[in-house]
Amino acid sequence: MQEKGTISIHTENIFPIIKKFLYSDNEIFLRELVSNAVDATQKMKRLSSLGQYNGELGELQVEVALDETAKTITISDNGIGMNADEIKKYINQIAFSGATEFMEKFKEAKDANEIIGRFGLGFYSAFMVADQVEINTLSYQEGAEPARWTCDGSTEFEITEGTRTTRGTDIILHINKDSEEFVSKQKLQEILDKYAKFLPVPIKFGERTDQVPDGEDEEGKPKYMSVVSDNIINETTPIWTKAPSELKDEDYLQFYKELYPFSEEPLFWIHLNVDYPFNLTGVLYFPKVKNDFDFQRNKIKLFSRQVFITDEVKDIVPEFLMLLHGVIDSPDIPLNVSRSFLQADSNVKKINTYITKKVADKLSEIFKADRKAYEEKWSDIGLFVKYGYVSDDKFNEKAKDFVLLTNTAKENYTLNEYKEKVTAAQTDKDGQLVYLYTNEPEKQDSFIQSATKKGYDVLVMNSPIDNHFVSQLEQKLEKTSLKRVDADVADKLIKKDDAPATVLTDDQVTQVKTVFEKAITKPGFKVELESLNPDELPVTVTMDEFMRRMKDMAQMGGGMSFYGNLPDNYKVVVNGNHKLISRILETGDENEQAQLAKQAFDLALLSQGLLTGAELTEFVNRSVSLI
Ligand SMILES: Nc1ncnc2c1ncn2[C@@H]1O[C@H](COP(=O)(O)OP(=O)(O)OP(=O)(O)O)[C@@H](O)[C@H]1O
């Protein structure tokens, strides 16, 4: 048997394209060839189970072998094999609808994945690294003749009689000069670890030597002996392929360790398992993240029938769940198409919705089953839940029952519980509920104390997502607004009808205002006199809630740059009902008035950490002279 011919594609220069333009991730050649080999063994298994093959199935296996001297990589399998006609059909006639379309598309394609999968060029990715490729194969069919195909990367091929005596296929790559990095055991092991670690058929790559216990020596010390065995690089039944009922917690934890050897133990996990209307399995883990936004994203690995595809799962997993770890395996995700196509794909949308629902259900289940355990995990999962609450309507709908608010006493409340708790004390004169919060409990302590004295509760909102969370709460909760505790003096935070009457005459108000305006020369500070409780501080420095939020947003790049450019503006609230004000009015001495006003103002700044540098020194000196 000898035949020469031309590979039937209409575009002569397909190989240069494959080689040159798809160069960047050329390591996927191994993924493609090993997957083909696995497919061939799986087909064999199917034929056998369907009764269409009655011979010996044997132990199905794929082997990757490296010959460093000959600079070849051989991928062998004992799958269905091919006869010469099948080679012609499957290999020579590259099965894509049109070479013209291919030529068009390759220009747009961002990576080799897009091209290779889209056009069924898996096998031809071999030419990214080899200048000569051989197929040596024997079909499983009775009486089949072994066949050998060779091609040097031009469109010329040759088919001759093969040398295989057992069922299956060897693909032999003669690695080209530019790709010698692949003539390395370590490199191949790395690639196999990345793409083939969970393939369903054992993949052998060379041998390994293990030291196993071998009794004791004369002195009674344990003895070891070297045992050489096949180096099987994969686990053929990873946990996501098993039924949850077969698995124990240890199995999930063990698998997590395998995936992320350097991570802390996960908090809990969700086993995904659907087969209608799409196919998807997987395990998603909730890692410990604390209040840290700098953790690594892209920790979810995407597989298609146990072949690793990518760890970029954007669009498939909702944005807020990108913080999760784990694996997703689905043959229904179009793996090789462009991003915009992926976004519009209806399966992808369904998968996204399914994952969101599963995660929400799991959280709800833990919350209901063991509130205490849920609260203990809150510092870790709070970020996910709030992120989802803010960014995903469907999740929001479910999360409203298990998102928690934490106050300065470290007590946790659901939204409903909190509403009940504060309604009596924190409803203003217009029937609006006002929730108070602090983002820096230490710095805002004096404000928190004043609010607490009035019987108000203060929430802690100090995680990176809380800015958005606060706005979202305002949108979702009825007749409720949120105010940072330092947005105003405690008396004014929640407007009530029972404001204390002023003890000052209009004249006195003007007089006191002038004293303070003269004493406070710092730019951006505006003096206002208010009649507050006599036991409130004499002077309080506040920043308007609206203004502050706009500035915060500008800082986070929220497009409010107009506000970001405005100078900081503070309100200096002087408590007209405080004893100190009577003292200022009583002494006619302008110098003493100024001293007292400055001292009270500095104390207000000091309590908020706003007094620094020369001003702080001046304050200390003044204080010393006053005692
Ligand atoms: N090791 C093998 N054993 C038996 N048949 C094979 C083997 N490798 C390739 N083939 C045959 O050659 C065909 C073409 O393979 P190729 O990798 O180019 O495309 P594909 O596997 O059909 O699609 P893709 O790899 O893009 O998912 C396969 O469908 C299969 O019929």
pLDDT, tens digit (0-9, with 9 covering 90-100), for 322-374: 888 999 998 887 665 555 566 667 778 888 889 999 999 999 999 999 999 99
Model pTM?
Answer: 0.75
Domain end marker among 156, 189, 206: 206
CA nearest ligand 1 atom 23, residue: 120
Instruction: State the maximum Cα–Cα separation within the chain, in Å, rounded to a whole number.
Output: 120
Say if residue 523 is preceded by a cis peptide, omega within 30 of 0.
no
Q: Do 172 and 97 share a domain, yes or no? A: yes
Rounded to the nearest angstrom, the distance between the alpha carbon of 90 and the centre of ligand 1 is 7
pLDDT given at position 253: 95
Q: Is the CB of 201 under 6 A from ligand 1?
A: no
Contacts of 235 (CB under 8 A, 6+ apart): 197, 198
Residue type, 164: R
Contacts of 475 (CB under 8 A, 6+ apart): none
Q: Do 86 and 190 share a domain, yes or no? A: yes
CA nearest ligand 1 atom 22, residue: 120
CA nearest ligand 1 atom 2, residue: 37
Q: Which of 123, 127, 134, 135 to probe ligand 1 with, by most ligand atoms within 8 A of CB?
A: 123
Taking the CA of residue 117 as reference, the ligand 1 atom at the shortest distance is: 26
Q: Is the CB of 94 under 6 A from ligand 1?
A: no
Query: Are the C-beta atoms of residues 541 and 604 closer than 8 Å to each other?
Result: yes
Query: Are the C-beta atoms of residues 23 and 63 closer than 8 Å to each other?
Result: no
Is 246 assigned to a binding site?
no
Summarize pLDDT for 11-25 with one digit per residue, the tens.
455 665 555 555 457
Rounded to the nearest angstrom, the distance between the alpha carbon of 501 and the centre of ligand 1 is 87
CATH of the domain at 599: 1.20.120.790
Q: Cβ–Cβ contacts within 10 Å for residue 177, how many?
A: 7
ipTM tops the 0.90 cut: yes
Answer whether residue 2 is part of any domain. Answer: no
Range of the domain at 475: 404-493
Mutual angle of helices 579-586 and 506-519, in 10-degree steps: 90
Q: Do 74 and 169 share a domain, yes or no? A: yes
Q: Do 83 and 173 share a domain, yes or no? A: yes
CA nearest ligand 1 atom 12, residue: 90
Residue type, 464: P
Q: Do 198 and 262 share a domain, yes or no? A: no
Answer whether residue 530 is part of any domain. Answer: yes
Kind and range of the H or E element at 189?
Answer: helix 185-195
Rounded to the nearest angstrom, the distance between the alpha carbon of 122 and the centre of ligand 1 is 7
Rounded to the nearest angstrom, the distance between the alpha carbon of 36 and the centre of ligand 1 is 5
Low-confidence residues of the chain, pLDDT below 70? Answer: 1, 5-24, 94-121, 290-298, 334-344, 499, 556-566
Q: Do 300 and 409 share a domain, yes or no? A: no
Q: Do 41 and 183 share a domain, yes or no? A: yes
Residue type, 104: E
Q: Is the CB of 79 under 6 A from ligand 1?
A: yes
CATH of the domain at 327: 3.30.230.80
Q: Is the CB of 40 under 6 A from ligand 1?
A: yes
CA distance 299 to 306: 17
Q: Three-class SS string for 393-453?
A: HHHHHHHCCCCEEEECCCCEEEHHHHHHHHHHHHECCCCCEEEEEECCCCCCHHHHHHHHH
Q: What's the chain's Rg over C-alpha atoms?
A: 36
Q: Is the CB of 80 under 6 A from ligand 1?
A: yes
Q: Do 512 and 604 share a domain, yes or no? A: yes
Is 339 assigned to a binding site?
yes
CA distance 31 to 125: 10
Looking at the structure of the chain, the number of domains it has is 4
Kindly state the tokens that stand for 68: 């460093």
Mutual angle of helices 579-586 and 590-607, in 10-degree steps: 160
Answer whether residue 55 is part of any domain. Answer: yes
Answer whether residue 580 is part of any domain. Answer: yes
Q: Do 31 and 162 share a domain, yes or no? A: yes
CA distance 67 to 369: 58
Q: Do 333 and 296 share a domain, yes or no? A: yes
Is 82 assigned to a binding site?
yes
Query: Are the C-beta atoms of residues 200 and 44 closer than 8 Å to each other?
Result: no
Answer whether residue 248 is part of any domain. Answer: yes
CA distance 425 to 454: 9
Residue listed under structure tokens 């936004």: 293
Is 169 assigned to a binding site?
yes
Q: Do 431 and 550 share a domain, yes or no? A: no
Is 291 assigned to a binding site?
no
Summarize pLDDT for 516-573 with one digit per residue, the tens.
999 888 888 899 888 888 888 899 988 887 778 777 777 766 555 666 666 778 889 9
CA distance 279 to 241: 12
Rounded to the nearest angstrom, the distance between the alpha carbon of 2 and the centre of ligand 1 is 23
Answer whether residue 303 is part of any domain. Answer: yes
Q: Do 163 and 127 share a domain, yes or no? A: yes
Answer whether residue 181 is part of any domain. Answer: yes
pLDDT given at position 96: 41
Kind and range of the H or E element at 569?
Answer: none
Task: State the Cα torsion 335-341-344-349 to the nearest 10°.
Answer: 10
φ, ψ dihedrals at 306, nearest 5°? 70, 0
Residue listed under structure tokens 């983002």: 439
Q: 305 by DSSP, 3-state: which?
A: coil
CATH of the domain at 147: 3.30.565.10
Q: Is the CB of 125 under 6 A from ligand 1?
A: no
CA distance 550 to 387: 20
CA distance 117 to 109: 12
Residue type, 312: E
Is 92 assigned to a binding site?
no
